[in-house]
Amino acid sequence: MIITLSLSISIAQTGTNQNNAAVENSDFDFWLGNWNLEWTAKEGEKGYGQNFITKILDGAVVQENFKTSDDSPFKGISLSVFNKKKKEWQQTWVDNKGGYLDFKGGRQDDKMILQREFVNGGQVKILQRMVFFDIEENSLMWNWEKSADEGETWETLWQIQYTRNNSE
């Protein structure tokens, strides 16, 4: 019994140390803060929203809180963590429409790219990705893209302009 308890404590402490190592990775620090969002829908109308990004769990996890500003708001949260063993970022997204998405990726030159794949109803493998680019201190661009040809070509489905909200 004592050996089991001792082993459990040792494993728990080792896990904590490994999680703290992820804190050293600051690839997502550009995203931290309060953001005002603006985009143009396919129909041409403007869309607006807010995004609040913070670090939680001793700084090892980046938490996103997203919402739109229209009459029937779309809301979602994501949790992102750097997986030290795989040397990649992993993100899980959930929303008030029942959506669940999982991504992995990281920095590629001056962009942050997180990607996932799934098979659609027509049994076609689709790649989806988020691309953070044109990253400045108080602004950045974010694209939601898809590819049906293994990433040979990408179609932008949604582009959001982020502007830092310094008033809060």
Give the Cα-Cα-Cα angle 9, 80, 121 (nearest 5 degrees). 120
Q: What is the pLDDT of residue 1?
A: 47
Q: What is the pLDDT of residue 159?
A: 95
Q: How many CB atoms lie within 10 A of CB 113?
A: 19
119-145 pLDDT, tens digit per residue, is 888 888 999 999 999 999 999 999 999
Q: What is the pLDDT of residue 121?
A: 83
Q: What is the C-alpha to C-alpha distance for residues 28 and 49, in angstroms, rounded to an integer?
A: 20
Percent residues over pLDDT 70 in the chain: 85
Average pLDDT, rounded, for the chain: 86
The answer to whether residues 138 and 149 touch, using CB atoms and an 8 Å cutoff, is: no
CATH number, position 140:
2.40.128.20
By residue range, what is the domain housing residue 62? 2-164
Q: What is the pLDDT of residue 24?
A: 53
Name the nearest CA neighbour of 74 among 52, 103, 91, 98: 98
34-88 pLDDT, tens digit per residue, is 999 999 977 888 889 999 999 999 999 999 999 988 776 899 999 999 999 999 9
* pLDDT reading at 13 higher than 60: no
Count how many domains the chain has.
Answer: 1
